[in-house]
Amino acid sequence: MENAVKNTDDTLNSIPKSFKDNPKSSVNFMTKEIFEEILPSYLPNKQDQLDVMDKWEKIHKSKMEINTVPMAIRAALGPKRGEKLKQEAIEFVKSENEKNAPDNKDTQTKSTTLHRADNRSPEQIKQTGGFHGWGGSISIEHAKKWAKNFEAKQQMDKNQFLQTWKAQTSSRNEEIPYVATGWEAQKAGEEYTIKVPFEIGNPNEPAVFYNSDSIESSTVFILAGRDEAVFLTGIPNKYINNQLEIDKEQEIGAPSVSTKQEKTSETAQKPTEVIGTSTHNEQKATEQKNVQAPTKHKRTHSKKMSDLLSRFDKPQNQFESSNQKEQQHPDINKKQNEKAKYVPKQ
C-alpha cells in the first residue's frame, strides 16, 4: 500500500505528459516543484496560487496539450474562472516584463538591431504591449528556469530545438509564447526595427543571450542562432523604433504613422490611366456605359409616369398631342376624324 502511494506521488511529481506533447512547449521541463516555484510570477494573488496547486493532479492528467503556464491555469480551474485568470496572467507578465526590461536610450551601451515584419499597424502593436507570442510571453522567473534547462542540454538537442522552431510556423491554437525576429529586413507586412540594449550573437549553433552577466540577474532572454533571434520574454514597446516615432509625432501633433499609411494606401489603390492606348479607351467607355445606364433607365421611367399623368390629369395636353399628330400624319388623322363624326343611334 505504501509503495502504491509512493509511486502515485512520484508520478504526480514528474513532468506531465501534456507539458511535453509539443516540442516548442515552454513548460516541457517542469515538475510540480518547478511549476509551483514560478507560479507567483504569473498569479500574484496567493489564494489563486493555492487553488491552482490544489488541482495539480487535474493538470497532470489533462489530455489537452499545455504549452504555457496560463494554459495550465485554465486546465486546473476550468473554462470560466480558469480562462479569466489565464488572461489576467498573460497581461500581468507583459506588464512586469516591460517594467523590468532595461531602457535602450543609453548611447554608450552596445546594442543590437533586429527586424520583424507584421501585418498589424504600429498603434495596434502598441495597444497589445509590444510583440508577444500567441500565448503571450513567459515570465522572467520562468525564463531563468528555461535558460538554465536549455544550457544544460546536449548541443545536438539544442540544434534540434531551433531546427524544429524554424521548420514550421506555430499556429494560434498552440499558444506558443515566443516571438521571432531576424537580422535582415523582412519583406512581408509592416516593417519594424527593434533595438535591444545589449549584444546578441548570431551563432551557427543556438545559444541563449541575456542582458546581464548572469541568468539570475537578467530580465530579457533571447534564443539566437542561424539568422533568427527568438524573444522568450517578449519585445516591449520601448524597443520598437516605430513606436518611438509614434510617441514623437503625438507630442508635436503630427499625423500618426497609420494615418500616413492610409493616405499612401489610398493613393496606391487609385488606378493610373494610360492615355492614348486602346485599353484606356475601352476602360473609359465601359465606365461611361456603367454610369449612364441607370440614368437612362431613370429617365424612361419618369417619361412613362409623365405620360400617364398628362393623360388623366391634363386633357389640354392630350388635345395638343392630337394636333401634333395631325400635323405629322394628316391622312390618317382625317379618316379618324370622319369616323368620330358618326354617332350611332341609341
Runs of H (alpha helix) within 253-314: 257-269, 278-313
What's the CA gap between 18 and 27, in Å, rounded? 9
Q: Contacts by 147-156 with C-beta closer than 8 Å and gap 24+? A: 147/208, 147/210, 147/215, 147/221, 147/232, 148/215, 149/29, 150/208, 150/223, 151/208, 155/205
Q: Where is pLDDT greater, at 179 or 345?
A: 179
3 state SS of 229: strand
Residue pLDDT, tens place only, 1-46? 454 444 445 667 799 999 999 999 999 999 999 999 999 999 999 9
pLDDT band at 78 (very low <50, low <70, confident <90, very high): very high
What is residue 326's predicted lDDT score, i.e. its pLDDT? 45
Asked if the model's pLDDT at residue 329 lies above 90, the reply is no
What's the CA gap between 342 and 165, in Å, rounded? 103
User: Residues 73-87: what's their mean pLDDT?
Assistant: 97
What is residue 107's predicted lDDT score, i.e. its pLDDT? 64
| pTM metric for this prediction | 0.69
Asked if the model's pLDDT at residue 341 lies above 50, the reply is no
What's the CA gap between 26 and 66, in Å, rounded? 9
CA dihedral 210, 177, 91, 103 (to 10 degrees): 20
Supply φ then ψ for residue 97, to 5 degrees: -65, -40
pLDDT band at 299 (very low <50, low <70, confident <90, very high): very low
What is residue 10's predicted lDDT score, i.e. its pLDDT? 62
Q: C-alpha grid cell for residue 77?
A: 480551474
Mean pLDDT of the chain: 78
Q: Where is pLDDT greater, at 32 or 291?
A: 32
Asked if the model's pLDDT at residue 62 lies above 90, the reply is yes
Q: Are 212 and 220 in contact (CB under 8 A)?
A: no
Q: What does the DSSP 8-state code read for residue 175? A: T
Residue pLDDT, tens place only, 213-251? 999 999 999 999 989 999 999 999 999 986 555 555 556
What is residue 267's predicted lDDT score, i.e. its pLDDT? 45
CA dihedral 298, 301, 307, 313 (to 10 degrees): -90
Asked if the model's pLDDT at residue 287 lies above 60, the reply is no
Asked if the model's pLDDT at residue 342 lies above 60, the reply is no
What share of the chain in percent tops pLDDT 90?
Answer: 55
What is residue 164's predicted lDDT score, i.e. its pLDDT? 82
Identity of the amino acid at 71? M
pLDDT band at 296 (very low <50, low <70, confident <90, very high): very low
What is residue 185's predicted lDDT score, i.e. its pLDDT? 81
Other CB atoms within a 10 A radius of the CB of residue 132 amount to: 23
What share of the chain in percent tops pLDDT 70?
Answer: 66
b/e sequence 203-219, b meaning 16+ C-beta within 10 Å: eeebbbbbbeeebeebb
